[in-house]
Amino acid sequence: MALELLYSFLTYPKKEEAPTGVDIPLDDSKLCLMLRGIFDNANKDCNVPILFTSEGTKQKNIVMDEVLTLLSAPSLEVAQPLATRLQCVTNGTSGMGLMFICIGKGHSGKKQIVMSRFPADEGIVAERGEDKLSVQFVDQVFLKSSHAYKAVTYTWSGIAGDLWNGHAVDKQINHGTKSIADYWIVDFLQSDFATSPALGTKRLANALKNAMKAASDQQTKAEIASATQLARNLSSKALSIAGFCDEFHFSEKTKKTVLDNVDPARLIQEKFKFDSSEFSKVIAFKQVELDSGAVVSAPADKFSQCFTVGDEGDQKTYTAKGRVIDQRLKSTK
């Protein structure tokens, strides 16, 4: 990893004027060595996955846009809005802080940014002169402990909008009820804790499968089946399980059936990036059983391509055409 740019801002709680910033030259000073260490170890230390939250139904987040702008054309002026944002959401309890923004290349060669905040503290400075000792009280002591700070890191591929996921850490919190202060994740970064794309998609797919089994009416089953066929078009979109239901305009009954089958239920609103390949692993086939005893089955994402569906009153016909490549006898459906 290689640190290339380093900016710092002094932020005051809820202060209206812009925070004071400086472009720090990279050298072999103790400060730069410490910040290089934070930048180099960010992928290991920042171990809590987070995700920028969308503004309503739009795939947009103003903080993500500010970070992307900074990575595209880095400068102290372009970094200023992020420092101002942090200052605006910092309350009196958190107090004054020193913010560092480190930009460089990560292990993968992609652009990486690490933003960190160190709290201010009080201390006493003692200086020894030729014939006397000077002792002073100061209330702007920073980096009293280089291990007590908040940080977040993002890696950017260079593709516009490809910055939804990041990783954060809060080394100032030492109790188990929270892993990161709310103001750092929710207020400053406008983010939330993230589920990995694979895990979130698997949870969604299982909820849909179980909802299909639990549903007692054909309308609910039809809505779920239709959504599973169209879901592949959501590739890499950030959404929650509840958001998935809204995306495909589920009826209230269908939505409730799906959400009732989310395990655990508290993750209904948790966002993740949709992974179409993981979705296909869980929901690989769609199967339709007719009252005649026939069972029609095909890959879920190609079902409508495999069969031509016709209506004859309240009955349906499924027509398929192709070469026979295999036949099987099974003990179960």
85-103 pLDDT, tens digit per residue, is 999 998 877 778 899 999 9
Q: What is the dihedral of CA 267, 270, 272, 277, to 10 degrees?
A: 20
For residue 258, the number of C-alpha atoms closer than 13 Å in the C-beta half-sphere is: 30
pLDDT at 174: 56
Q: What is the dihedral of CA 224, 230, 236, 242, to 10 degrees?
A: -30
Q: 114 with 262, same domain?
A: no
Q: Which two tokens stand for residue 306?
A: 């495999």
Q: For 152-196, write each residue's pLDDT tens digit.
A: 999 998 887 778 889 998 887 654 435 577 789 889 999 887 777
Q: For 237-275, write each residue's pLDDT tens digit.
A: 778 899 999 999 999 999 999 999 998 787 888 878 889
CB environment 271-303: b (16+ within 10 A), e (fewer): bbbbbbebbbebbeebebeeeeeeebebebbeb
Q: 9 with 112, same domain?
A: yes
Q: Which of 165, 218, 232 is nearest to 194 (CA)?
A: 165
Q: For 37-66, write each residue's pLDDT tens digit.
A: 999 999 999 988 888 888 766 678 999 999
Residue 65 inside a domain? The answer is yes
Residue 138 inside a domain? The answer is no
- pLDDT of 148 strictly over 60: yes
Q: 184 with 54, same domain?
A: yes
- Cα-to-chain-centroid distance, residue 256: 25
Q: 151 with 205, same domain?
A: no
- pLDDT of 78 strictly over 90: yes
pLDDT at 177: 37
By the 10 Å C-beta count (0-12 exposed, 13-18 middle, 19+ buried), 121 is classed as: middle
**Domain range enclosing 158:** 2-118+147-193
Taking the chain, what is the end-to-end CA distance rounded to the nearest angstrom? 55
Contact predicate 193/50, CB 8 Å = yes
Query: Quick count: other Cβ atoms within 10 Å of Cβ 142?
Result: 16
Contact predicate 38/45, CB 8 Å = yes
Q: 56 with 153, same domain?
A: yes
Q: 202 with 306, same domain?
A: no
Q: 37 with 103, same domain?
A: yes
Name the domain count of the chain. 3
What values do phi and psi take at 88, rounded to 5? -70, -30
pLDDT at 136: 67
pLDDT at 176: 40
Going by pLDDT thresholds of 50, 70 and 90, the confidence category of residue 198 is confident
Q: 65 with 171, same domain?
A: yes
The three-class DSSP label of residue 297 is strand
Q: 75 with 41, same domain?
A: yes
Q: 165 with 306, same domain?
A: no
